Structure 1
């Protein structure tokens, strides 16, 4: 195509076989976009393209990747907010005709297998080394090994007893990421041969780190999860025939009343310490009570 389409938060540069998305930096830009910088999306990685009316006099060009084509979107598993979707380009409403033109061009470039899951990752994940601070520890990834280093201020006694952890990508079957913007968010490594003694809850499981207010933010933990997923598949540790890792979805809780009571007490402590406003405390408490 050889053209450029500039939106409010990004610029799309169209080549013969791919589109290069350059994310703009700025205070009002989503932090995930700033962390990603730019991404090259092969046309064969796309499933569909649409144009729709946006908010406040805008139009949205939205490309949807094929399942299994992008490790970032696979890790996100539908948990990203609309404004943080890296496949959305928001334009002024008067550019709707231009957006429709490029949408048609992109549709014409889609391959015959667009509706089928991709056999391999077609979009590159952020490069290692990567790291971020979770509530109970620091997670780091050097491209071949994931390491968890526990914080004495946040780690559970079970994690302290197990000691700091390291995991070679060859030992892993995948990654489960639950957004830090959802209460009880976490990043869990799915081991190919996990010990039967591994607890189910992330705050007790030494193969997981838990998020908290300001810890494990989306723009740090999601690229991390994507990079690990890509390395796992590249190492051949997650064959296509393997059962997909379980992923959290709204409505899945698996928590008992005692655990919820503990979480509410913890919320109360944060509220009393001034780390949660009255509104935040009330909303999160209501979310927990709704799980009973």
Structure 2
């Protein structure tokens, strides 16, 4: 930038503008999105930026946002568009009276962006640091940078997972990662090991299931991003989007597993995360699998 080291402070974050990058420092506090607190700070090279926008926000604010290049950031690649607006790490919310200053930095960023193809050939933004771990509904997941470990929970894991035993997956044997947000029903993290057709996440020894109070975004998404970055660094395929994963709804399932899923569905319904209609439809689908 023409004024290197300038800082633009907004709600929950401050952007420091350097000649070749933007350093985003996230606040820590009760009102700050937990994902921001976990990320701490991130350096975004100008080569990782596809665009910059400035738009009116809510309640007397404006929003300055960086649009990352496809394939440049393991976090956004793993998220696959599932992050809620408030948890978008590329949004800087500012008081409306700072709009003129925000316009200046928007124009400066646009002027310095490098012309490149739509997708990056490698990750340009650093992945979350390892080791990482989180507690899912049916397991504890951990990653040390080389191997992903799933240790099943005796209260949540399906009989199929218990029969398979605790799992360890070296990065060298993985070719993809799928993260389905815990903020939707049937959220999970799945590891792809080959060309096999994926089964239900609660039956797949290569997947852990999220749930009410388990696998929260600020814990599971950085985990998925770190695994994805490690997989990509050895030339494996990119993350498989959740919407592209086929389902095998024709298989019959263990009655005990169906009962567990209905109980979990009921917890989400009582918490207001699933509507009455969604609860009835999904319960019927589960019962049909018996």
Cα distance between partner residues in 1 of 2:90 and 2:228: 19
Cα distance between partner residues in 1 of 2:108 and 2:72: 20
Are 2:201 and 1:202 equivalent residues in the alignment? yes
Are 2:122 and 1:120 equivalent residues in the alignment? yes
Cα distance between partner residues in 2 of 1:162 and 1:217: 25
Distance 1:47 1:129, change over 3 A: same
Cα distance between partner residues in 1 of 2:19 and 2:90: 18
In structure 1, runs of 5+ residues without a counterpart are: none
Cα distance between partner residues in 2 of 1:231 and 1:107: 31
1:159 alignment counterpart: 161
Is the Cα contact below 8 Å between 2:134 and 2:220 reproduced in 1? yes
1:185 alignment counterpart: 187
Are 2:101 and 1:108 equivalent residues in the alignment? no
1:108, distance to aligned residue in structure 2 (A): 1.0
Is the Cα contact below 8 Å between 2:179 and 2:221 reproduced in 1? yes
Distance 1:60 1:278, change over 3 A: closer
In structure 2, runs of 5+ residues without a counterpart are: none
Cα distance between partner residues in 1 of 2:246 and 2:271: 24
Cα distance between partner residues in 1 of 2:49 and 2:211: 34
2:135 alignment counterpart: 133
2:282 alignment counterpart: 288
Distance 1:10 1:290, change over 3 A: farther
Is the Cα contact below 8 Å between 1:264 and 1:288 reproduced in 2? no
Are 2:62 and 1:63 equivalent residues in the alignment? no
2:47 alignment counterpart: 44
2:270 alignment counterpart: 277
Cα distance between partner residues in 1 of 2:95 and 2:280: 38
Distance 1:181 1:269, change over 3 A: same
Is the Cα contact below 8 Å between 2:262 and 2:283 reproduced in 1? no
Are 2:148 and 1:146 equivalent residues in the alignment? yes
1:26 alignment counterpart: 29
The TM-score normalised by the length of structure 1 is: 0.87
Size of the aligned set, in residue pairs, is 280
Is the Cα contact below 8 Å between 1:52 and 1:61 reproduced in 2? yes
Matched residue of 1:39: which SS? Answer: strand
Is the Cα contact below 8 Å between 1:264 and 1:285 reproduced in 2? no
Is the Cα contact below 8 Å between 1:267 and 1:285 reproduced in 2? no
1:287, distance to aligned residue in structure 2 (A): 7.0
1:97 alignment counterpart: 100
Give the aligned CA root-mean-square deviation in angstroms. Answer: 2.7
Matched residue of 2:190: which SS? Answer: strand
Distance 1:263 1:24, change over 3 A: farther
Is the Cα contact below 8 Å between 1:8 and 1:89 reproduced in 2? yes
Are 2:209 and 1:216 equivalent residues in the alignment? no
1:267, distance to aligned residue in structure 2 (A): 6.7
Distance 1:290 1:146, change over 3 A: same
